[in-house]
A and B are shown apart, each in its own frame.
Chain A
């Protein structure tokens, strides 16, 4: 099924007599889903773009690349730097903006600019009964009623199928610089990144790539970037690399390039940054990449590893992003939550999707 309009999509959901596998580009979801494929790429197109108001509204099936090109033509971009996960997950396909929102995909700049859900200002979606629902709108300041925009982001289609999304965007800065500090161990790197992020110099990327270096990104007007880079260098040491290489480096961090083509399972941790080195030390992983100043850690493990069991409790949570189907059948992709919160989540899914047709079982 490939609806071309919101109304057709609503009909398709209302008329579903079994599980639906929601598919934008198929580039992000944890694993293959059973059920009739509902192809969402037919709902495509930018509907409104006001650069002077930093506002873009687009149908959810619009390719991410098209959204990015549209914004770039006006010197603007999505602030939260969504990743291209095809290399990591071994997928082909065209990522849609709806898929980005459904996964709340947020890259290195999340550490300063916020996550996808922080730039998202409005949604339209079709719930599991086929009803069309809107929340938020096209203005940044909106506290009218409950914030379902935040609830829908990251819900992986389990509460509703996105048909339209609205973002507050930001300008593409004039210049960038990346300070590279070599030879820090993990604890030293997290400490250095913490100092950088706690400084007034507006760091927009803080990553530690063991064996390659610790990287801090600055963006803005050229003089401002040069000034701030100098201040950070005085604080932490290191050298700024050629600006022409910045984009490729941060894309590699964003897309977890070190794990591309590497066998093993991929886990993504969200945790208290200062706890990260200790957690990594316990993980026994084969590959590590720190992002968000240590607030996000990517781990490559032996296939089938129950990382959560191995780590025990830690201040944060672990998501299983890439694993064989038999592992995904055995280990939940998303961190199991305490009973009452799990019950609330189940209750929300039951009310938004009473028949359980929207990606059932994906999140619990």
Chain B
């Protein structure tokens, strides 16, 4: 993975830079020993690793500001890090950069059920935000699968989604305000306990900016009331096309499920072998979850049943108990683990218009034969977000590159049918060099202008999002 060339001057001055960091932080907040910085050499995209110059773990916004001031003065790049769960290499350092981890900033600062928001330090894990309020009947809606580990800081950087996002939106639709420290150490407050921006929607462009505009240390998040209940239904189909048509009919009928998950035959089979959830033998299945009171759930499921029956399902399984609901979800939730049992895999997250699913799956199947790599598909059918899981063997020379090449072709196909490269994971380094497939030069230029304003010296999170060639000339060499 090409990254910006580390500045030899910074490398030569490592001791002095570390000393300046130690002057503004407690000693235990600065990690600089060679064997210790290695822990920060990668995120969940483990194929690419590079130990940083140092890593810091501040405990306050003031400490974050002090670190950034030092790094700004020294011209040292800074890589902000939440929990390091990025699948796109969003936290991959260069040898001359300092990892700024907010994991020690994980407090709840304010909870307000009347005005329905929670204010947290952004190092807090996603699940523990809901954990702080669900006893009182509320939750924080964006729920990425990694929510046990991922941090709000990362959620904001990547504009994370999750199973609930079909109904409740993604992070940017639930983010009300931030405290953000700019690269020169200035602390800014944007938004708050009110709705909408007073002028330009800076919050809207900060969310999803992959740690390149500032370091977000605190966030005001929208709280939603917990529904009275939820229940899934599982439907098996004889073809991908029919499954897709059923989804379309459900949406046309005015139903708004919380989640609509699709799995194809390879995924179903791998999952059955692994988790034994008792999924039907079929080409495709849907798991649809609806919310409300018991009566409202019954009514929605009855409507879904009536629509599904028009599509001659192989099986239609409703849940009559908590345990049955759990079993319906078991396979889907084990899918990635099941693929991991078969071998190494790469998980993509291109998005497509939902009507393109049958065509895209057919093409992926053809490419699978051409590349000689097996692939299984999980798909958020309500919003078009695909998760092709490509199996490869990391120990086989050339297999990673082959897998990446196959993945790139799938993502190009997503763009070709009117979708995009990434629906959830972000660009990071993983899709950086495909950005020109989706964007014309003027489109990338417009995005880069935003960074020019927030971080004129291009010190924050280098080597991400924009192809290196497009960036050349903006960052001092």
Contact = CB atoms under 8 A, between A and B. Distances in A.
Do the two chains belong together in a single complex? yes
Contact of B449 (A132, A138, A352): A352
Nearest to B189: A338
Residue from B225, B227, B255, B465 with most neighbouring chain A CB atoms (10 Å): B225
B199 A141 contact: no
A131 B443 CA distance: 9
Contacts of A141: 161, 165, 170, 351, 380, 383-385, 420, 423-424
A347 interface: yes
Interface residues of A, number: 81
Given A53-B384, A150-B172, A315-B194, A127 B200 contact: no
A232 B114 CA distance: 16
A147 B295 contact: no
A140 B173 CA distance: 12
Contacts of A348: 200, 449-450, 453
Contact of A52 (B193, B251, B452, B466): B251
A55 B353 contact: yes
Interface in A71-105: 74-75, 104
B440 interface: yes
Interface string A40-74: 00000000001111110000000000000000001
B205 A148 contact: yes
Contacts of B190: 341
A272 B114 CA distance: 10
Interface stretch (B27-35, B67-75, B323-331, B425-433): B425-433
Given A315-B192, A335-B198, A351-B452, A53 B251 contact: yes
A186 B323 CA distance: 47
A145 B442 contact: no
A71 to B, nearest CB: 13
Contact of B204 (A106, A110, A117, A172): A117
Interface string A324-364: 00000000001101101100110110011000000000011
Interface stretch (A27-35, A195-203, A258-266): A195-203
A344 B453 contact: yes
Contacts of B204: 117, 147, 149-151, 153
Interface in B425-458: 425-427, 431, 435, 438-440, 442-447, 449-454
B442 A151 contact: no
A117 B449 CA distance: 21
A362 to B, nearest CB: 10
A332 B295 CA distance: 52
B188 interface: yes
A115 interface: yes
Contacts of A257: none
Nearest to A146: B447
Contacts of A26: none
A106 B445 CA distance: 30
Nearest to A54: B251
A319 B194 CA distance: 14
B11 interface: no
A51 B253 CA distance: 10
A52 B172 contact: no
B461 interface: no
A44 B450 CA distance: 29
Interface string A124-155: 00010001111101111111111111110111
A173 interface: yes
Contacts of A75: 252, 254
Given A141-B424, A147-B208, A200 B228 contact: yes
A205 interface: no
B107 interface: no
Contacts of A316: 192-194
A256 to B, nearest CB: 16
Interface stretch (A15-23, A219-227, A235-243): A219-227
A139 B208 contact: no
A12 interface: no
Contacts of B424: 141, 143
Interface string B284-318: 00000000110110011000000000000000000
B299 A221 contact: yes
Nearest to A171: B254
B201 interface: yes
A174 B254 contact: yes
A52 to B, nearest CB: 3
Residue from A50, A51, A150 with most neighbouring chain B CB atoms (10 Å): A150
A151 B165 contact: no
B192 A200 contact: no
B207 interface: yes
Contacts of A271: 194
A317 interface: yes
B61 interface: no
B195 interface: yes
Interface in B314-367: 351-355
Contacts of B254: 75, 171-174, 221
Contacts of A134: 439-440, 443
B383 A140 contact: yes
Given A145-B444, A223-B295, A348-B450, A274 B256 contact: no
A160 to B, nearest CB: 8
A110 B173 CA distance: 11
B172 to A, nearest CB: 7
Given A143-B425, A200-B225, A315-B192, A344 B454 contact: yes
A283 interface: no
B266 interface: no
B150 interface: no
A224 B303 CA distance: 13
Interface string B217-229: 0000000011110
B474 interface: no
B169 A118 contact: yes
Contacts of A351: 449, 452-453
B240 interface: no
Contacts of B255: 171
B368 to A, nearest CB: 23
B392 interface: no
Given A115-B196, A117-B201, A151 B208 contact: no
Interface of A: 50-55, 74-75, 104, 106, 110, 114-115, 117-118, 127, 131-135, 137-151, 153-155, 159, 170-174, 191, 194, 197-200, 221, 223-224, 227, 270-274, 292, 295-296, 315-317, 319, 334-335, 337-338, 340-341, 344-345, 347-348, 351-352, 363-364
| Shortest 4 CB-CB contacts between residues of A and residues of B | A150-B204, A52-B248, A141-B423, A317-B198
12 contacts: A137-B419, A137-B420, A139-B384, A141-B380, A141-B423, A144-B420, A146-B450, A148-B447, A151-B202, A198-B116, A198-B138, A272-B115
Given A139-B352, A139-B423, 14 more contacts: A53-B353, A104-B196, A118-B169, A133-B446, A138-B418, A139-B418, A142-B422, A146-B451, A146-B465, A151-B201, A173-B254, A198-B116, A221-B300, A271-B194
Interface of B: 112-116, 137-138, 158-159, 161, 165, 169-170, 172-173, 182, 186, 188-190, 192-205, 207-209, 225-228, 247-249, 251-256, 292-293, 295-296, 299-300, 351-355, 380, 383-385, 418-427, 431, 435, 438-440, 442-447, 449-454, 465-466
